[in-house]
């Protein structure tokens, strides 16, 4: 409570007192002194501390609420908003992208930001056969316009594969998309209007936020815990805001690698029903589990049709295909179809027919088991290298699968500074700021191990350790 | 002026007089009695006619202006808005699409709404070679993520072809897109925020409007004349509104087939500079000219970098490729790149590399001359059939190229009614309402002749004539 003494209220200057108080509070929020979802002092207490009228405090709180800097829970008090919208703006997304692109182009660097699988594993010969067959079979038809929802035989075969995930779907509810990012974009178009609220995990994938912000959406982030999103924080926010949807990754989350417990998955679906919002389950890594048991997708538990399931083929097949699909609640079919039409009319029919041939002939497991085996080897090497070279320097939660590790840095090490140092050593790592959209954060780095050569993996992680040491040596 | 007597002002009822007047005017606008851009009577005259106070008239006009039902030009007066925004809503676009899809699926129908070229003309063998070569040459690299802007060698070769159009471009300013519709969508994302104004031609392509409306844009339409948009109407509107851009097709416009005169093109560019807006030139038919002389694209005259040029490959190559490109003013590169990233990260690299191989080996002219020759034959057949069977029934402007004719119906024939009748005869034609976005219109039909078999062409047009006769016979 003492920290509020830093707010200077000067009764002699012209600026209204409530505004001086509001600005003081804003400053404290920006500085991170008042963290997201922390409670502001009760009105009387604040008034007496600062020797001002209670009306002044009420006015200041109301003003900040209008500005969405704080929110109030009836009968409980006033809390700091998870995200003052002014802080997250469009250019940020581009900036992040550019940083990535610039860094990724450094030659011969050890690249821990690349999220794609190595190309020598791609099923190129099989796809060559698939495209040849489609062109011989269909001729010009292969290049005709196709239904916006997608090629029906492809949608049908995808339903078969979804059964292996425990998801029982009808082909009518499947929308083919040009990659998961397009799915996120189309859902945003169908559901988000200017000023609508969207919830995401914190930290999260900046590309998704970019699509939400581009619609004029008000993005509010909810902290992650070891077993998924913070449920009490989420429910408190749901009492105030009415989000159109919550965007999550239920397993091997980007960037933390966290997977949701079954309890949290069930609770999420309950909340979605109670508070009338959808959940977007963004799945690009489901098949990359390295433990004995498979996880249950959120969609498999979705008896009330609250989950929009987005599946990317980028990891399971190849990123350059630019393809994936969505499984939609029936209610959303019309608006999604309309959004897809105005987005790009339809995904290339030629590519869809190629993928359909491939899946029908080779099956889903054929390639995904190769990818999982490779991913698992990389994972074990990365984990053992981290344990060997970063023990005592960083802390991390062992993920059950996926393509990356999320390493928490010691208090005196700033992630951005560390990453800049590492670039000079030709090691590229993503700092946590890229996933926090400009908010105050726990300083961490994301280490993607999926496209790093085995001989470079340990070497790269060792260099991360040396760089941390160097920063700590020079720390005051 | 007499028509305003229909407005009933009742001083005995509770409703404010200004509101009664405003509602009366709204009703007249909705009924089409007051057409878009017509001038409302001066305040004094209106007041004396209706025996009300001038203040009441001023208040009503102001109220309507706030609602964007009318606009005022300083020193000139108050005019009816081209488009009350309440009338054009999202579902319309889907509705139109669905109508199309449902009708197009009628078996064995003579299809005058299909805008694609017949598939037997597609260069399938050449593309088979292209994809094979790319896969043998690149292997897994063919399916890697690619730069959001597109594959540089493809962008470079496109610059060469643009020179044949009289456009001198740098590859840095070319953005590869997954079809023209995506180009429109991305530009909307980059430029249109909620409440921004966009100008389009009237009538126009509903898919474009769908993208603008989806961004919360306020779409204002400007009438077409025989040689392009109505310039005085445009300039009057520019004095009031500040559009982000004007969306046009400079040759063989959808749906009218109209091409802009060189004078209007020059004037457009002048206005764009004077009033600070961009022009989107949507080009999907440039190569389909059937006269001796080629037309000059607007972009070729664009010395001040006001034109965003969007080129579709759907007509010139194949619609199912889902590819095209944009040539952008340098100032827009960053925001477009960001919008493309959040839309779908990038267009399939595999497809881009295939198109690049094809263009480099076979050139642009190889296939486009085949298409133009075919289009020209269909055009001449369609025109002679229309002259033979619809003479005296309809009026039309002979376009200089393109894929369709725009036929104005006699006063007593409603386009929707005619189209419904024709469906029963297994002839599918698009009514003008699909291009007017719910506004009052000149009743017309669009007859696309590009994918109708020669033996059906004359037969179909004859049936249109019979249906018109039938309606006229039964008309009161």
Q: How many structural domains compose chain A?
A: 3
Q: What's the pLDDT score for residue B104?
A: 62
Statement to judge: residues A403 and A337 lie in one domain: no
Residues B285 and B300 in one domain: yes
Contacts of B207 in chain A (CB under 8 A): 341-342, 345
The residue out of B306, B329, B363 marking a domain boundary is: B363
Which residues in chain B are closer than 8 Å to A141, comparing Cβ atoms? 119
Chain B residue nearest residue A209, CA to CA: B342
Contact call for B139 and A122, based on CB within 8 A:
yes
Q: What is the model's pLDDT at position B355?
A: 97
Q: For the residues B75-88, what does the mean pLDDT come to?
A: 64
The helix (H) or strand (E) run that includes residue B384 is helix B349-390
Which range is least confidently modeled, A377-391, B5-19, B29-43, B95-109? Answer: B95-109
Looking only at the bridges linking them, the beta strands covering B70-73 and B77-80 are antiparallel
Q: Which residues of A touch B122 (CB under 8 A)?
A: 139-140, 143
Kindly state the tokens that stand for B217: 């844009």
pLDDT band for B103, please (50, 70, 90 cuts): low
A115 and A128 belong to one structural domain: no
CA distance B127 to chain A (A): 9
**Minimal C-alpha gap between B279 and chain A (Å):** 20
Closest partner residue to A214 (CB to CB) among B146, B189, B350 is: B189
| C-beta atoms of B338 and A120 within 8 A | no
| Residues B373 and B334 reside in one and the same domain | no
Helices A454-474, A415-424: inter-axial angle, 10-degree rounding: 120
Mutate to test the interface with B, among A88, A116, A146, A343 (most CBs of B within 10 A): A343
* Domain of residue B350, CATH code: 3.40.640.10
Do A348 and A376 belong together in one domain? no
Closest-CA distance, B105 to chain A, in angstroms, reads: 11
Closest CA–CA distance from residue A120 to any residue of chain B (Å): 6
A261 class by beta-carbon count within 10 Å (0-12 exposed, 13-18 middle, 19+ buried): middle
CA nearest to A185 within chain B:
B343
Averaged pLDDT for residues B188-214: 90
Closest-CA distance, B66 to chain A, in angstroms, reads 20
Confidence band, pLDDT 50/70/90 cuts, at residue B241:
confident
Of A91, A185, A320, the CB nearest to B350: A320
Dump pLDDT digits (tens) for B358-375: 999 999 888 999 999 999
Whole-angstrom distance, CA of residue B268 vs CA of residue B233? 12
Chain B contact set for A195 (CB, 8 A): 194
Give me the pLDDT at residue B94, please. 47
Inter-chain Cβ pairs, chain A and chain B, closer than 8 A: 201
% chain B with pLDDT above 70:
93
Residues B234 and B352 in one domain: yes
Higher-pLDDT residue of A331, B19: A331
Q: Which pLDDT does position B56 carry in this prediction?
A: 81
The answer to whether residues A147 and A266 belong to one domain is yes
Taking contacts as CB-CB distances below 8 angstroms, the residues of chain B near A124 are 135, 139-140, 142-143
- If phi > 0 it is left, if psi is from -120 to 50 it is alpha, else beta; for residue B313 that is alpha
Structure tokens belonging to residue B101 = 């899809």
Of the residues B22, B54, B81, the one at which a domain ends: B81
Say how far apart CA A301 and CA A475 lie, in whole Å: 49
Rg (CA), chain B: 24
Instruction: Go through A364-381 and write b for each residue having 16 or more CB atoms within 10 A of its CB, e for each that does not.
Output: beebbeebbeebeebbeb
Q: Which of A48-52, A184-188, B159-163, B319-323 shows the lowest per-residue confidence on average (mean pLDDT)?
A: A48-52
CATH code, A38? 1.10.10.10
ipTM of the complex: 0.79
What pTM, to 2 d.p., does this model score?
Answer: 0.81
So what's the pLDDT on residue A107? 80
CATH number of the domain that residue A433 is part of? 3.90.1150.10
Which of these, A389, A144, A182, lies nearest to B314 by C-alpha position?
A: A144
Q: How many CA atoms lie within 13 A of B339 on its CB side?
A: 24
Per-residue pLDDT, averaged over B432-445, amounts to 81
Confidence band, pLDDT 50/70/90 cuts, at residue B242: confident
* Cβ contact B373:B182 at 8 Å: no
* pLDDT above 90 for B74: no
User: Nearest 10 degrees: CA dihedral of A450, A455, A460, A465?
Assistant: 120
Chain centroid to CA A307: how far? 16
Let me know how long chain B is.
476
For residue B205, is pLDDT > 80?
A: yes
**Residue-range definition of the domain harbouring residue B51:** 2-81
Report the pLDDT value the prediction gives residue B11, as an integer from 0 to 100. 80
Taking CB atoms and an 8 Å limit, are A144 and B322 in contact across chains? no
- Residue among B120, B214, B349 whose CB faces A189 most closely: B214
Distance from CA of A305 to the nearest CA of B (A): 23
Residues of B in contact with A342 (CB under 8 A): 93, 181, 185, 207, 210-211, 214
Among candidate residues B54, B81, B108, the one where a domain is terminated: B81
Closest approach of chain B CAs to the CA of A391, in angstroms? Answer: 34
Give chain A's residues under pLDDT 70. 1-2, 14, 66, 74-75, 83-105, 438-440
Mark whether B356 and B377 lie in a shared domain: no
A43, A187: one domain: no
B313: pLDDT confidence band, cut at 50, 70 and 90? very high
Which of A101, A144, A347 is nearest residue B319 as measured by Cβ atoms?
A: A144
Query: Which tens digit of pLDDT belongs to each residue from A248-260?
Result: 999 999 999 999 9
pLDDT of residue A64: 83
CA-closest candidate to residue B145, choices A375, A259, A61, A451: A451
Residues of B with Cβ-Cβ distance to A144 under 8 angstroms: 116, 119, 318-320
Does the pLDDT value for residue B290 go beyond 90? yes
**Nearest chain B residue (CA) to A177:** B344
* Residue B115 C-alpha, separation from nearest chain A C-alpha, in angstroms: 10
Q: Do A147 and B348 touch (CB under 8 A)?
A: no
B298 or A5: which leads in pLDDT: B298
Residue of B150, B177, B320, B321 best to disrupt the A interface, most CBs of A under 10 A: B320
Using an 8 Å CB-CB cutoff, list chain B residues near A145: 116, 319-320
Residue B231 has pLDDT above 50, yes or no: yes
Average pLDDT, chain B: 89
* Beta-carbon count within 10 A of B393 CB: 17
User: Do both A268 and A139 map to the same domain?
Assistant: yes
From the list A93, A322, A341, the residue facing B344 with the nearest CB is A322
> Is residue A257 domain-shared with residue A308, that is, in the same domain?
yes
- Using CB atoms, which residue from B119, B136, B182 is nearest to A343? B182
Q: Do B225 and B335 belong together in one domain?
A: yes
Closest Cα in chain B, distance from residue A208 (Å): 7
Contact B322 A345 (CB under 8 A): yes
Give the mutation candidate from B102, B191, B348, B351 for the A interface (greatest A CB count, under 10 A).
B348
């Amino acid at each position: 409570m003492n920290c509020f003494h830093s707010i200077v209220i000067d009764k002699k200057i012209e600026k209204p007192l409530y505004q001086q108080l509001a600005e003081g509070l804003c400053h404290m929020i920006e500085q991170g002194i008042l963290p997201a979802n922390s409670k502001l002092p009760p009105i009387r207490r604040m008034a007496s501390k600062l020797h001002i009228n209670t009306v002044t405090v009420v006015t200041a709180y109301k003003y900040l609420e209008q500005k969405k800097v704080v929110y109030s829970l009836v009968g409980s008090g006033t809390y700091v908003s998870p995200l003052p919208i002014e802080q997250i703006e469009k250019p940020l997304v581009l900036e992040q992208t550019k940083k990535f692109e610039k860094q990724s182009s450094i030659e011969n660097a050890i690249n821990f930001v690349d999220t794609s699988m190595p190309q020598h594993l791609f099923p190129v010969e099989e796809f060559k056969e698939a495209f040849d067959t489609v062109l011989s079979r269909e001729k010009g038809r292969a290049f005709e316009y196709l239904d916006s929802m997608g090629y029906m035989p492809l949608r049908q075969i995808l339903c078969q594969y979804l059964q292996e995930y425990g998801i029982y779907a009808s082909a009518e509810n499947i929308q083919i998309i040009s990659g998961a990012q397009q799915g996120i974009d189309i859902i945003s178009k169908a559901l988000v209007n200017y000023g609508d609220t969207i919830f995401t995990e914190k930290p999260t994938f900046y590309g998704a936020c970019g699509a939400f912000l581009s619609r004029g959406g008000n993005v509010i982030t909810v902290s992650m815990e070891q077993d998924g999103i913070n449920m009490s924080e989420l429910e408190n926010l749901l009492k105030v805001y009415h989000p159109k949807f919550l965007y999550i990754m239920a397993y091997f989350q980007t960037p933390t690698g966290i997977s949701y417990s079954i309890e949290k998955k069930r609770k999420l679906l309950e909340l979605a029903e109670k508070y009338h919002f959808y959940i977007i389950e963004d799945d690009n890594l489901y098949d990359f589990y390295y433990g004995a048991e498979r996880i249950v997708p959120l969609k498999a538990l979705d008896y009330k049709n609250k989950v929009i399931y987005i599946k990317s083929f980028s990891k399971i097949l190849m990123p350059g295909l630019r393809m994936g699909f969505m499984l939609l609640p029936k209610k959303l079919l019309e608006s999604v179809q309309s959004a897809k039409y105005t987005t790009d009319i339809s995904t290339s029919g030629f590519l869809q027919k190629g993928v359909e041939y491939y899946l029908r002939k080779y099956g889903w497991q054929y390639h995904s088991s190769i990818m999982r085996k490779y991913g698992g080897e990389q994972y074990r090497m990365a984990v053992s290298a981290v344990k060997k070279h970063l023990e005592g320097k960083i802390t991390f939660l062992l993920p059950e699968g996926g393509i990356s590790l999320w390493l928490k840095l010691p208090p005196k090490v700033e992630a951005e500074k560390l990453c800049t140092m590492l670039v000079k050593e030709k090691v590229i790592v993503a700092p946590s700021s890229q996933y926090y959209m400009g908010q105050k954060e726990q300083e961490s780095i994301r280490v993607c191990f999926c496209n790093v050569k085995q001989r470079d993996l340990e070497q790269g992680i060792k260099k991360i350790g040396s760089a941390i040491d160097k920063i700590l040596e020079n720390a005051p």
